[in-house]
Amino acid sequence: MSHSILKHTIEDDIKSRARVLIVDDDPDITLTFKFGLEKNGFAVTVFNDPLKALSEFRAGLYDVILLDVKMPRMNGFELSKEIIKIDDNPMMCYITSFVVYYESLKEIFPAAKVCCFIKKPIEIDKLVDKIVEVLNGSKGSFN
């Protein structure tokens, strides 16, 4: 079996079992991400309200969590802080349309467990690649 076929098979296996939670206050973003990720084999749950997402969150239910940085009522970092109280080992990626300065954010939100930052807009294939990287344990920083 060639390396590319083996890699493709492993990535397909990861995607077919991966459960992704997306929390973003923009319904267009969550719908687009959900459709694109499901088309690529992921199981996806979306919320447009961070407080509703938190109230329904259960430990161990998701493999990767994508959180919008800027949301009303509770931003992505505040939400992640609350999620960590329920599940202390989630893999979280933060979605933003702003320039992100990683070191500054670590000072402001020291408890945030950051696997990656995803800059909007992003093409679905690049989002899929980023999630597969995170699931494979390769922590990326920005796309």
What SS3 string covers the chain? CCHHHHHHHHHHHHHHHCEEEEECCCHHHHHHHHHHHHHCCCEEEEECCHHHHHHHCCCCCCCEEEEECCCCCCCHHHHHHHHHHHCCCCCEEEEECCCCCHHHHHHHCCCCCEEEEEECCCCHHHHHHHHHHHHCCCCCCCC
Would you tell me which CATH number, out of the four given (3.30.2290.10, 3.40.50.2300, 3.30.1490.20, 3.40.50.300), belongs to the domain 3-135? Answer: 3.40.50.2300
Instruction: Kindly state the average pLDDT of the residues 117-136.
Output: 93
Residue pLDDT, tens place only, 133-142: 999 886 544 4
User: Phi and psi of 83, rounded to 5°?
Assistant: -60, -40
Instruction: Identify whether the C-beta of residue 80 lies closer than 8 Å to the C-beta of residue 112.
Output: yes
End-to-end CA distance of the chain: 31
Using pLDDT thresholds of 50, 70 and 90, give the confidence band for residue 39. very high
Q: For residue 96, which of 83, 109, 86, 84 has the smallest C-alpha distance?
A: 109
| Residue with the larger pLDDT of the pair 108 and 119 | 119
Q: How far apart are CA 39 and CA 19, in angstroms?
A: 13
Domain ranges across the chain? 3-135
Give me the mean pLDDT over the 113-129 stretch: 89
pLDDT in tens, 44-69: 999 999 999 999 999 999 999 999 99
Distance of CA 129 to the CA centre of its chain: 12
What's the confidence (pLDDT) of residue 26? 97
Amino acid 141: pLDDT: 47
With a cut of 60, say whether residue 42 has pLDDT above it: yes
Per-residue pLDDT, averaged over 21-32, amounts to 98
What pLDDT score does 143 carry? 46
Instruction: Report the pLDDT value the prediction gives residue 6, as an integer from 0 to 100.
Output: 46
Q: What is the pLDDT of residue 142?
A: 44
Choice between 31 and 12, residue whose per-residue pLDDT is larger? 31
